Every structure is written in C-alpha cells, then in structure tokens.
Structure 1
C-alpha cells in the first residue's frame, strides 16, 4: 500500500499547525483524499507532502502563495520545460529585486538609528551623565 500521511503527521514533520495545512488546502496547494465517516479525515499522499514542502520553501523565499502555486503546478504538468524554467527565473528575479530593496531600506534605517544613538550619547556626555551599562544593553 502507498505511503500516506495524516494532517497531524505533516504538521509535526514541518513544524506548522494543522490550521496552516488546511489553509494551504483552501488555497489549492494541497488536495488530500477524504476518508472516514463523512469524509472527516484528510489523507495526504507523498505528492501532497512534496507540495507542502515546496510551499514552505517558497514562503521562505518570500514568494506569494499564488506564485508558489503557479510554479508547483507548472512542474506537475511538464509541457515546455524551457518556458517553465524561464517563468521560475522571472519569479526569482522579481523576488531578488524586492529583497535587495528591502535590504537597502533596512541599511538606511540602521544608519539613521546610529546617527540618533550617537547624538543621544553626545547629549548625555555634555550633560555629564555617565554611560550606564544597562543603557548599552539594547
């Protein structure tokens, strides 16, 4: 018999909640079979497990769920591999630009914080206040 997984097993394996898995199912990323009385029990296949793994990897890359679904669906219906790879490269390039802009924004914010910190320290020194260790802990 083929290997199957319960929602609890997948949640435990990937350290996410069952609610998150149900959400991904609602978004069309997973499609478990239903078994038991009234179809209450979800039964996940190795295909579902792989799709969940790829979904979580895509989220770590910062992709949207629709981008993740598009990419996963492309690879499950291989027609034109070159077109699929080109599409994936486009998505990755877009995400790289987004992350590089976020990094630049963070670096600018950190530089502004450093200027404010230096100014505060200078004001404290002028006021004759000793630089207390607890003030540097932050």
Structure 2
C-alpha cells in the first residue's frame, strides 16, 4: 500500500508540484502567474520554492479569477497590499471593484432573464403553430 507524503507544515516552502496539488492547478498555470509577476517564488537552482506569501497570493489570484476579475485587475489589487496605499487602500479599492462586478453580474442576470422569457414566448408560439397545423 502506498501512502501519500506528509504535507509540509504551513510555514515550510513548497515545490511547484506541491502547490499545484494543493490548489488543484497545473504547473503551467503557476508558471504563467509567475511570468506575470503575480507570484515570485524563491529560486534554488532550477527549483521554485513557494513560501506562504506566494501561496496566499495564488489563493487570491484564483479567487479573483473565479469571480471574473481580469488578471491585470487582480494584480493591481494584490500589489496594493505591499505598496501605497497599503492594506486600507487595497480593501477600499477591492470593495469598489466588488460593487462594480456585482452590478455587472446583476445586469447580466437581468439580460438573461429577458432572453429566457423571449425564448419561452417564442417556444409557446411555435408549439401553438404546430398544434394548428393539420
């Protein structure tokens, strides 16, 4: 019977393979985020070591993607934590972005509801027309 390796303690750096498994993403995705400057793992020769900061940033990137934010916007939000205006500015900016994203999604939902109602009306007409045919 094969046993899985013991996961590293939270503070221990992780390899790209460990991070990929932990976050259920591909190595390619992690390298892509690194190439965009969203992650900056420590390099030891050819090995990448991801510390807690990088894993936290990756978690934020993936959450932002799930919410539909473009990568450039995610970078701006994540980078604000370390730069001016700091955490307060980051959170205020993020709240504004959340409001904008929510408004966009609400509008899309309304548009979908209208489209679905139109499809239902068209379907009803087609079924009625079919019933009237000999």
Q: Structure 1 stretch 77-86 or stretch 108-117: which is displaced more? A: 77-86
Separation of aligned partners in 2, 1:103 and 1:76: 35
- What's the CA shift for 1:80? 5.0
Q: Structure 1 stretch 75-84 or stretch 44-53: which is displaced more? A: 75-84
Question: What TM-score comes out, normalization by structure 2 length?
Answer: 0.81
Separation of aligned partners in 1, 2:66 and 2:78: 15
1:10 aligns with 2:19: yes
What count of residue pairs does the alignment treat as equivalent? 125
2:102 paired residue among 96, 105, 108: 96
Structure 1: runs of 5 or more not aligned: 129-138
Structure 2: runs of 5 or more not aligned: 1-8
1:22 aligns with 2:28: no
Partner of 2:77: 71
> 3-state DSSP class of the match of 2:69?
coil
Q: Structure 1 stretch 13-22 or stretch 71-80: which is displaced more? A: 71-80
